[in-house]
Amino acid sequence: RAKGAFHDHPTVTKLLVVLSVSGGGVAAFSDARPFQFGYADAAHDVKKKKVVVLGTGWAGTSFLKSLKDPSYDVHVISPRNYFAFTPLLPSVTNGTVEARSIVEPIRSIVRKKKFDVHFKEAECYKIDTVNKKVCCRSTQENNLGGSEEFTVDYDYLVIAMGARANTFNTPGVVEYAHFLKEVEDAQRIRRTVIDCFERASLPTVSEEEKKRILHFVVVGGGPTGVEFAAELHDFVNEDLAKLYPALKQHVKITLLEAADHILNMFDKRITEFAEEKFQRDGIDVKTGSMVVKVSDKEISTKERSSGKTVEIPFGMVVWSTGIGTRPVIMDFMKQIGQTNRRVLATDEWLRVEGCDSIYALGDCATINQRKVMEDIAAIFSKADENNSGTLKVDDFKGVIKDIAERYPQVQIHLKKNQLRNFLQLLKSKDGEDELNIEKFKQALAEVDKQMKSLPPTAQVASQQGVYLADCFNRMDICEKYPEGPIRFRAAGRHRFRPFRYKHFGQFAPLGGEQAAAQLPGDWVSIGHSTQWLWYSVYASKLVSWRTRLLVISDWGRRFIFGRDSSRI
Ligand code: FAD
């Protein structure tokens, strides 16, 4: 700005012009300086491309952390000014870990960047693709009791707004159940558990009422629901039972799951171990039980086995049945014609389908599998140059290899179902070594049906953030030299390699210092040693040394002094 001001000054400009037309030694100076000034200003005038990032969760933060190219003008908008390490949220619900230990201020994350990143604590309520701007409102009230509204225009928009808890429109859930999605939810659950114990201790409360107040119901047998039930069981048995000995006999934990088993996305061995352990611990696991209504004191379930509706009195309900779409995303999907979908559809370069310069990652988006399958079929047909309808097995294997390289989801699926069986399925009647394309397409449709989109996990979200930042870092170079196999670089393709997810396995903490892990290659590990693996993995994954030290000291404090049951 200083150089610009100097150059803009009329006297200085005139002086430079005079110097530039005079000769001799001055000419040497004049040749260089006016040009240099002009060049500097031109560089200054090149408008930086404005990147607007919506959300500071796993996807948004990993994008920001990995973005290194200073040639962007980066603006971040999120209703929370911190990043939360969600895998430790269940530990916050009982005080094993303090809430502040798992959050990192977004401003201290972006402060480490070598270029300016502007943060606004606000929520985006509308995306205007026509005028390339987002409409936002501040999360804080102004003097008049309303909230400030403003718009931010963009050249590139990165949508990383995550998802909200899914209630399946079950009546009463929003009003009477607790979600476990945000840090505030975990803090609220912690206070409610202590509240229940204090209320049940009052002399006016009947035995029947004590039983109701101390009945904790968890809805959803996925990893979060199971981990929460296990953490609650440990809290009650290791800490609260000592502090409220008279109440121990009244405490009950029930886990409701609509499917036949809990943790059904895990290996069967893990599911069985978890169910047996919960049975031993006295956690009542009710499978085939679908919640139809929640009221202030009762939860109604429809039992699949009997078809009957059962009323269960409770003191606290925690609802953990998966994720749903945020209203702003639904509105955006309507705007761009993606109405019949659950989440935003993107291509494999994370570009929102039907939009220009808009990317979506994390829980709010998914790669459109149908399109992927069509692409695969097209690639396959292309390989059959003579249009014979068949392919040699070896050629087919080559095609499959290309497809698998490009589409990791297919690779995972093919591995699971064994490539050999898949090939068997495709063998034409005529010759053992030839494959029928029609059969391939039918099998493809089958794979399509079975193939699941990427799971909504922190692992996927953070890898997508890193991938997209890497694309942004190399935008110019890849414009000139597009990457990836040549056959995928046809018109309309992106200049980068498509996103590839690398699965590092998943954990299910089961309480009592035991955990289960399903690692790549379907390798399963269960028990106390796995819990120590869990401690080390999560300590290493925390975003900063500050949070790492805080969490480790919280774990140490819990081992030595137990959990704190103060209601603050
Ligand atoms: P989020 O991390 O949810 O971030 C969304 C961001 O968008 C937030 O900053 C939010 O404030 C912001 N936002 C919301 N609305 C707006 C708006 N209108 N405008 C602007 N910004 C907005 N995954 C694992 O891989 N392993 C685990 O062990 C694991 N454990 C979990 C435990 C719990 C209790 C929970 C709830 C989730 C867990 N997950 C785990 C899943 C993981 O947290 C999510 O998949 C991940 O957070 C998704 O990242 P995201 O960036 O898409 O969304």
State yes or no: pLDDT of 443 exceeds 50. Answer: yes
502: enclosing H helix or E strand: none
| Whole-number Cα distances in Å, 115 to 155, 160, 181, 357, 461 | 18, 21, 32, 22, 24
Q: Where are the beta strands (DSSP E) in 212-269?
A: 215-219, 252-257
* Nearest atom (ligand 1) to Cα of 228: 34
CA angle 140, 145, 151 (to 5 degrees): 55
315 CA from centroid of ligand 1 (Å): 27
Look up the CATH number of domain 173-323: 3.50.50.100
State yes or no: pLDDT of 403 exceeds 70. Answer: no
* Nearest atom (ligand 1) to Cα of 364: 52
| Whole-number Cα distances in Å, 191 to 187, 261, 419, 458 | 6, 30, 52, 26
Nearest alpha carbon to residue 156 among 79, 81, 72, 77: 72
3 pLDDT tier (thresholds 50, 70, 90): very low
**Residues 206-218: pLDDT tens digits?**
999 999 999 999 9
CA-nearest residue for atom 14, ligand 1, is 161
Burial 208-219 (b: 16+ CB within 10 A, else e): ebbbbbbbbbbb
CB 436 within 8 A of CB 393: no
State yes or no: pLDDT of 127 exceeds 50. Answer: yes
Global pTM value: 0.82
Torsion angle in degrees (nearest 10) through CA of 257, 258, 261, 263: -60
Residue 115 has a pLDDT of 83
The type of residue at 349 is: W
Separation between Cα atoms, residue 281 and residue 267, nearest integer Å:
21
8 pLDDT tier (thresholds 50, 70, 90): very low
Separation between Cα atoms, residue 412 and residue 158, nearest integer Å:
27
The type of residue at 480 is: K
* Most ligand 1 atoms within 8 A of CB, residue of 56, 64, 85, 86 to mutate: 86
Separation between Cα atoms, residue 63 and residue 498, nearest integer Å:
16
- Show contacts of 333-341: CB within 8 Å, 24+ apart: 335/127, 335/129, 336/129
Separation between Cα atoms, residue 51 and residue 68, nearest integer Å:
13
* Most ligand 1 atoms within 8 A of CB, residue of 139, 150, 457 to mutate: 457
State yes or no: pLDDT of 429 exceeds 60. Answer: no
Which residue ranges make up each domain of the chain? 2-45, 173-323, 369-453
182 CA from centroid of ligand 1 (Å): 8
83 CA from centroid of ligand 1 (Å): 9
Nearest alpha carbon to residue 484 among 372, 353, 348: 348
146 pLDDT tier (thresholds 50, 70, 90): confident
Mean pLDDT of the chain: 82
The reply to whether CATH 1.10.700 applies to domain 369-453 is no
* Most ligand 1 atoms within 8 A of CB, residue of 64, 78, 226, 466 to mutate: 78
**Residues 148-181: pLDDT tens digits?**
899 999 999 999 999 999 999 999 999 999 999 9
270 compared with 440, residue with greater pLDDT: 270
86 CA from centroid of ligand 1 (Å): 7
**Residues 515-566: pLDDT tens digits?**
999 987 778 999 999 999 999 999 999 989 999 999 999 999 999 999 988 8
11 compared with 224, residue with greater pLDDT: 224
Mean pLDDT (whole number) for 417-444: 52
* Nearest atom (ligand 1) to Cα of 79: 11
* Most ligand 1 atoms within 8 A of CB, residue of 76, 102, 231, 363 to mutate: 363
- Give me the sign of the Cα torsion angle 111, 113, 116, 119: negative
Burial zone of 413 (CB within 10 Å; 0-12 exposed, 13-18 middle, 19+ buried): middle
Residue 173 has a pLDDT of 97
213 CA from centroid of ligand 1 (Å): 31
CB 219 within 8 A of CB 319: yes
**Residues 490-522: pLDDT tens digits?**
555 567 877 878 888 899 999 999 999 998 777
Ligand 1 pocket list (CB less than 6 A): 54-60, 77-80, 86-87, 89-90, 123-124, 160-162, 180-181, 224, 326, 328, 362-364, 456-459, 461
* Most ligand 1 atoms within 8 A of CB, residue of 58, 76, 83, 154 to mutate: 58
Residues in the chain: 568
**Residues 17-50: pLDDT tens digits?**
333 333 333 333 333 333 333 333 344 446 789 9
358 compared with 455, residue with greater pLDDT: 358
Nearest alpha carbon to residue 127 among 358, 347, 366, 340: 358
Mean pLDDT (whole number) for 124-139: 95
CA-nearest residue for atom 49, ligand 1, is 58
Backbone φ and ψ of 531, nearest 5°: -65, -40
